[in-house]
Chain A
């Protein structure tokens, strides 16, 4: 410090300050100085204050902008969905369409055509409005790709039955791969379009299978096809819906009050999820930096809540356009939130990995189960193993060329399967409620040792509870361990996201590859017992 720089006559220049000497500045708590009443022992509390300061700053610099951006992003989408729904309702009232809805046979009729048109238009406007700049070009690209899909769909006319559907599936996935190769290299914005295209592909494949199996009696006309592909509820963020469901909900006759309640609830959860994902998870990670597991857990929490965010947003869109989902589960949460894309509570506190996988993306799970796994099993094409493997491959390929997702899905499949086998075996061996799936309540529990039936005093009941708890904790560990792989490094403006692969490998080695040992250990234990 020179404080006599102003002595006239002699000028002293201190330029030993290099370019980078400003780096080591304390980030401590400062704002106490302004008020004049400083804390007497501020040094002792420095750390806590710094943490608090960071949290407050975080709130200001991260949560607020994130929420605003999300609100700005979502509002036009919700508005378009509501407008589309309203227009359809008005048209149905004017034309006096039957309240039972449109049957699949009439889906191509001229009376219904305007409904498809409304859906397709609002959906395309939605994409146009949310895809960002050069949106015209992007929407054009997507339209070209879906036109190609429609051409592929015509294969059903050429071939018949399963062969056509299978070839459509293969062609679709192959073309997705080609797009990845051809377009991804060219366009930096492909990751943005990929999500949209993925949903389109899933719809296309399901439509192929449904046509082949006769569930959809007639080939949808071009307008119906476009309406299905670009229905505003599902075109931007998914989830997949079947053609049947789409036609069923062409005119949504839900209660508006219920819609509003579900919408608000979904949006609140969505905002909460984005705040956690962007800001809070990271801040918590900084707080919990002592333990590696906690660090991994919080980082993976960011990944998970990012998924919840998108799912809740998708749910809000579904609710606002009155679109129902496939799958027959009618639960309490459905009344609260409307159609469910994900069940975070079953992911954050999972009973087992397989329950977790099922709850992650419910429509996608339904799709895989119904069309890929089910299709495979139906024709007895081989052992269950091959069906599982095929499901895994299709699911991976659908996600595009992303090595990390392949890796996560692979380990997830192995761990979940070995856990499921072990628990099934244990359940039958001990006649206790230990299976991977939830026991269906006290009456329908098939095993004799069911904690709920045994009550609070029985030792067996507690033992079963404890075992299930241990499995839950193991699943949570797996979750953090695998979730860290998908950690989408925040994009610093200074450069490309660095060390994605290194980062998760580092985390894994830091955790001692424990999850792998546990996963394979379970499998060995299962082999040993059986």
Chain B
């Protein structure tokens, strides 16, 4: 019975992965196609944004992977939050990079292509930031939608709360959610965090370094959300009892998360493949308690992570192998750990049984430690953004790499920073234009709560890169 079970699973995996493979040959940004759902419901897609029709939207079909579509189907109401989250990520990214040569443009997005363009194919800092901010935005918007009650499967639903203490223990990192069970709503951040892991990290298996980088950056984005968002609850009831509990979010502005991530972007760590894999496996096994400790806090973290790292290395060696074979070997090696805790509380109705065994692996894929490129630097922490290769200069238009260049961008003449004309225009020079701007001025704040302004016409000098 057991063998047939394995057979069925592996068959399914094979089907699933081969389909995904055929869909996307450029294996680089495999897990990132879903960003395209930010554009779902936009007029050029010709579909009105009504939830009933949204499921059938061909844009969704083409951007989401099969597992992601299943997640969306099983968690009604989640799609709106995802669209919101993706747009949140785009606008925050564009805000954070408004003064940079690369300004997070999504202008030449075409159906079937990556939202942020071909920059995603490279493993540079900007890519790392995009991954981090999108996963953070999804976590954020899902958590927010939970507390607003728009996702049916997460707020005051008691069905998914019966989690075993063991799983809870493993999910300890997940938002530090205390199991305060009754009344009110369940742990919103916890749900957002887990959903983001399931949804955003679908394509990233952590097999090669690039996928590890993506996983790490996704995790970093989530960690930042977790650090900034606080769910608070309050009890109400007859004289100090706790008959009714209400929960809400305290200070969850995504701008703060964007600022934090930008700071990490400025201090991002370059990571690399080690020279000798075997050696690094040992080294990592020594280092890993740090990483695992911060993640699981479990006593068996060391063992698990060591095992998983070993497997990861094995998979890295086998990177050229076809997916089918890989998943088979992986499964057969995994079957010896039947006691893997199923850490999940996401309600995936039909998928649970099918996924039961895969989940043990999925959680382990987060237990790895990347090595800094420069061995003197300290290894990246869980909140750091990592990258693999230096960024291109972004100066000249290069469609092959999806770079728009800085021609025609506005710059600041007096600034010495990257928004200054010298750096922004890459020494090509810039044009000076005088324009009359009407803007609000002399604003005064009246209690409470309005701001009164005058309209002023001012001459303004605008500098544009050539």
Interface residues of A (CB under 8 A from B): 1-9, 11, 13-19, 21-22, 25-27, 30-31, 33-34, 37-41, 45, 48-49, 52, 54-55, 57, 61-66, 68-70, 72-73, 130-134, 188-189, 191-192, 194-196, 198-199, 236-238, 274, 277-279, 306, 309-310, 313, 361, 399-400, 402, 404-405, 486, 488, 490-496
Contacts and interface: CB of A to CB of B under 8 A. Distances in A.
A405 to B, nearest CB: 6
Given A5-B391, A488-B235, A17 B264 contact: yes
A40 B266 CA distance: 29
Interface string B76-98: 00000000000000010001001
A48 to B, nearest CB: 4
Interface string B246-262: 11111111011001100
Interface string B213-227: 000000000001001
Nearest to A40: B441
B234 interface: yes
Interface stretch (B156-164, B300-308, B314-322): B156-164
B357 interface: no
Contacts of B243: 192, 195-196, 236-237, 310
Contact of B267 (A14, A40, A65): A14
A21 B446 CA distance: 36
- For the complex of A and B, list the 5 residue pairs with the smallest distance between their C-beta atoms, beginning with the closest: A17-B267, A195-B241, A3-B418, A132-B182, A6-B391
A428 B456 CA distance: 70
B21 interface: no
Contacts of B418: 1, 3
A277 B236 contact: yes
Contacts, number: 256
B246 A66 contact: yes
Most buried by A among B259, B394, B417: B259
Given A40-B439, A310-B243, A68 B148 contact: yes
Contact of A199 (B230, B238, B394): B238
A45 B451 contact: yes
A277 B158 contact: no
13 contacts: A3-B418, A6-B124, A6-B125, A13-B269, A13-B270, A17-B267, A22-B263, A61-B251, A69-B247, A73-B184, A133-B162, A192-B183, A405-B240
Interface residues of B, number: 92
A310 B236 contact: yes
Given A17-B263, A57-B251, A133-B162, 12 more contacts: A11-B270, A13-B372, A22-B260, A45-B451, A65-B149, A192-B182, A192-B242, A195-B239, A199-B238, A306-B236, A310-B244, A493-B178
Contacts of A279: 248
Interface of B: 91, 95, 98, 100-101, 124-125, 144, 147-149, 155-156, 158, 161-162, 175-178, 180-185, 187, 189, 224, 227, 230-244, 246-253, 255-256, 259-260, 263-264, 266-270, 372-374, 377-378, 380-381, 383-384, 390-394, 417-418, 423, 439-445, 449, 451, 453, 456
B437 to A, nearest CB: 9
A309 B236 contact: yes
Nearest to A237: B243
A300 B157 CA distance: 32
Given A15-B372, A196-B243, A39 B189 contact: no
A192 B243 CA distance: 5
B259 A69 contact: no
A453 to B, nearest CB: 40
A52 B187 CA distance: 28
Contact of B449 (A21, A52, A402): A52
Most buried by B among A6, A26, A400: A6
A488 B234 contact: yes
Contacts of A16: 267
A349 B367 CA distance: 59
A65 to B, nearest CB: 4
B377 A15 contact: yes
Contacts of A493: 175-178, 180, 187, 189, 230-233
B158 A132 contact: yes
A399 B231 CA distance: 28
Contacts of A199: 238
Nearest to B101: A6
A72 B146 CA distance: 14
Most buried by A among B95, B255, B391: B255
Contacts of A54: 251
Nearest to A55: B449
Contacts of A191: 235, 237, 240-242
Nearest to A53: B253
B306 to A, nearest CB: 23
Contact of A194 (B101, B178, B241): B241
Contacts of B252: 57, 61
Contact of B381 (A11, A19, A48): A19
Contacts of B175: 493
B376 to A, nearest CB: 9
Contact of B144 (A61, A68, A130, A361): A61
A88 B249 CA distance: 42
A70 B390 CA distance: 52
A130 B380 CA distance: 46
A497 to B, nearest CB: 10
Given A57-B251, A69-B246, A22 B443 contact: no
A72 B149 contact: yes
A492 B230 CA distance: 7
Nearest to B100: A3
A491 B266 contact: no
Given A13-B270, A34-B91, A132-B158, A3 B417 contact: yes
B373 A491 contact: no
B152 to A, nearest CB: 12
Contact of A490 (B98, B156, B161, B234): B234
B246 A70 contact: yes
B176 A34 contact: no
A212 to B, nearest CB: 26
Nearest to B449: A52
A361 B238 CA distance: 9
Nearest to A306: B236
Contacts of B249: 61-62, 65
A15 B392 contact: no
A496 B233 CA distance: 11
Contact of B236 (A13, A48, A274): A274
B384 A48 contact: no
Nearest to A73: B244
Contacts of B441: 39-41
A5 B183 contact: no
Given A2-B266, A14-B266, A199-B238, A69 B156 contact: yes
